[in-house]
Amino acid sequence: MKILRFFIYVLIVLLVTPFLLVNYGPPGVATTSKVALHALVGYGGDEPDADIVRQQLSVADGFRVDLYATGLGKIRFMHLTAAGDILLSRPRSGEVLILKADGNGDGSPDDIHVLLSGLTRPHGMDYVDGWLYIAESDGVGKVAFDVESGEVSGDYTRVLTGLGDKGNHWTKTIRAGADGWLYLSSGSTCNVCEEEDIQRASIMRFKPDGSELAVYARGLRNSVGMDWAPWSNALFATDNGRDLLGDDFPPCELNKVVDGGFYGWPYINASTPDPDFGAKLPSDLPANRPPAHEFKAHNAPLGIRFLRHSKLAGYERSALVALHGSWNRSVPDGYKVVALQWQPDGTIIESDFVTGFLQNGKLLGRPVDVTEASDGSIYISDDYSGSIYRVTPADGLASSFTLPVAVSAPDENVGVLDAYDVKKRAALALQGKALYQQFHCAGCHEEQAGNALTALHERYNAASLTDFFSAPTPPMPAFPLNAEQREALAVYLFDKELNAAK
């Protein structure tokens, strides 16, 4: 088998390398050949060890990066459960793995095994109301999943079937919105063309039972990563620009995605008409929406995750994006994780977060997805070496990186509302009660077992509970509340609890 794989490798190199030499020249051809093979057939690199990771990777100040797991094969997207387990898709083998949380503190998962198999190129996953949803290349399925035990039960059933998965960009990514819809991305069949299937090069949405499937936004060549900004609940998606227009054009994109939005492809790249299709732009399309941020050309942004649990300065309104790296630049670029920081005026500043996956011509890995645990640990998947990396605060104290901050109390009355005079407390409590009713909070916290809001004063003060509502721990959704509304909701809950104790 190894001999056969070797001959297949040699054959593909012989076919691909002349094309790369002609089009992109000698400087990056060694790395580019490896990446092209990886993109075409999933051929990956060696598994790194912990020492190599420490030597080669660099991380932003205040953090450290370590190898969490390796030898996982051709992995892609992750879903982190409330129990700290990582669900990991392996499309080419039709499997979803589960990496059990590091309960013994040795820096690696306590167990790794196949959770589901026999799927059709599974990719994105999300969890809603006891169900694990999995986006396969040609449909979406669900299975009952117990978060605490990490086990599935019952039959795996399809809620969507018949989705197109031919040609390029067959992966599907699924994310659950706070609005009750499931959002599903589907990439284009080609580098650049006019699609016959309106579901390709789009983001769709549907109800959890599979009903009301519709295209939500169009003109998105390959939007692999999606997430919602916790301060505004706006949906942002990465998008990979087209190839074969030179090293530096077109840029890859981050788009603020809205219902009915059109984002250009194949007629417009960012804000510039495409040289092949720009003159063919149909007159009945909505106006092109330019990107919220431009990445360098061919950097291939994939997974995006807004940080909801970081207390480190500078990361309050930030997202991390995995740049998979170029395959068609004369000098390879990307191969890192970057931080995007939203400024008060709405502009976005990009800076390096984890670098060194490509260093001195040595390719260690290609970042794919990013996720964040409730203790602030950050996990990065790499489909080139089949590895997961964990980023933690440099001092190793995850509690310093946790949102919200737990607060102990000397007695049941705690004084959590002592800072408010009677009039202010009553006004805020009344406003908070209206919000509690508006968002049907009782449906989870009073009508479902195990979710009761009890002893809040033993865990939070007014400031930390207010802070928590800006980025609540899943499965609680991030509601679109401003600072005053979050404070009002916190005051109401404390007021309700203290009155009940009298």
> Count of domains in the chain?
3
pLDDT at 42: 52
For residue 407, being part of any structural domain is answered with no
Give the contacts of 297 (CB within 8 A, at least 6 positions apart). 241, 246, 247, 248, 249, 250, 251, 252, 326, 329
**Lowest-pLDDT choice from 54-58, 174-178, 245-249, 403-407:** 403-407
Q: Are 433 and 497 contained in the same domain?
A: yes
Instruction: Return the higher-pLDDT residue of 291 and 41.
Output: 291
Q: Are 66 and 33 contained in the same domain?
A: no
Q: Is the pLDDT of residue 17 over 70?
A: no
Distance CA 215, CA 186 (A): 10
Q: Are 238 and 253 contained in the same domain?
A: yes
Q: Are 111 and 164 contained in the same domain?
A: yes
Last residue of a domain, one of 401, 432, 460: 401
We report the CATH number of the domain holding residue 117 as 2.120.10.30
For residue 413, being part of any structural domain is answered with no
Q: How far is CA 378 from CA 14, 107, 194, in A?
A: 39, 13, 38
Query: For residue range 249-283, what is the model confidence (pLDDT) as tens digits?
Result: 999 999 999 999 999 999 999 999 999 999 999 99
Q: Are 273 and 210 contained in the same domain?
A: yes
What's the average model confidence in pLDDT over 212-219?
Answer: 98
For residue 414, being part of any structural domain is answered with no
Q: Which domain holds residue 33?
A: 1-43
Q: Are 367 and 459 contained in the same domain?
A: no
Q: Is the pLDDT of residue 470 over 50?
A: yes
Q: Are 334 and 442 contained in the same domain?
A: no
Band (459; pLDDT cuts 50, 70, 90):
low
For residue 433, being part of any structural domain is answered with yes
List for the chain the helix, strand, coil content (%; round to 5): 20, 30, 50
Q: Are 269 and 225 contained in the same domain?
A: yes
Q: Is the pLDDT of residue 205 over 50?
A: yes
Q: Is the pLDDT of residue 72 over 70?
A: yes
CA 336: distance to chain centroid? 15
Distance CA 353, CA 120 (A): 33
Last residue of a domain, one of 352, 369, 401: 401
What's the average model confidence in pLDDT over 99-114?
Answer: 96
Q: Which secondary-structure segment (H or E) carries 423?
A: helix 422-438
pLDDT at 5: 44
pLDDT at 33: 53
Q: Is the pLDDT of residue 321 over 90?
A: yes
**Lowest-pLDDT choice from 41-50, 83-92, 104-113, 242-251:** 41-50
Q: Are 194 and 246 contained in the same domain?
A: yes
Contact 182, 128 (CB under 8 A): yes
Q: Are 125 and 77 contained in the same domain?
A: yes
Please state whether the predicted TM-score (pTM) of the whole model is above 0.85: no
What's the chain's average pLDDT? 86
We report the CATH number of the domain holding residue 497 as 1.10.760
398's tokens? 């995850």
What's the average model confidence in pLDDT over 441-464?
Answer: 69
Among candidate residues 330, 328, 309, 331, the one with its CA nearest the CA of residue 320: 309
For residue 406, being part of any structural domain is answered with no
446's tokens? 């009073």
Alpha helices, DSSP H only, in 25-100? Answer: 29-41, 50-56
For residue 409, being part of any structural domain is answered with no
Query: For residue range 360-392, what is the model confidence (pLDDT) as tens digits?
Result: 888 999 999 999 999 899 999 999 999 999 999
Q: Are 490 and 342 contained in the same domain?
A: no
Q: Are 28 and 176 contained in the same domain?
A: no
For residue 82, being part of any structural domain is answered with yes
Ramachandran region, residue 159 (left: φ > 0; alpha: ψ -120 to 50; beta: rest)? alpha
Last residue of a domain, one of 338, 370, 401: 401
For residue 416, being part of any structural domain is answered with no
Q: How far is CA 157 from CA 122, 152, 161, 425, in A?
A: 14, 12, 10, 49
Neighbours of 105 (CB within 10 A): 7
What's the average model confidence in pLDDT over 194-210?
Answer: 97
Q: Is the pLDDT of residue 47 over 50?
A: yes
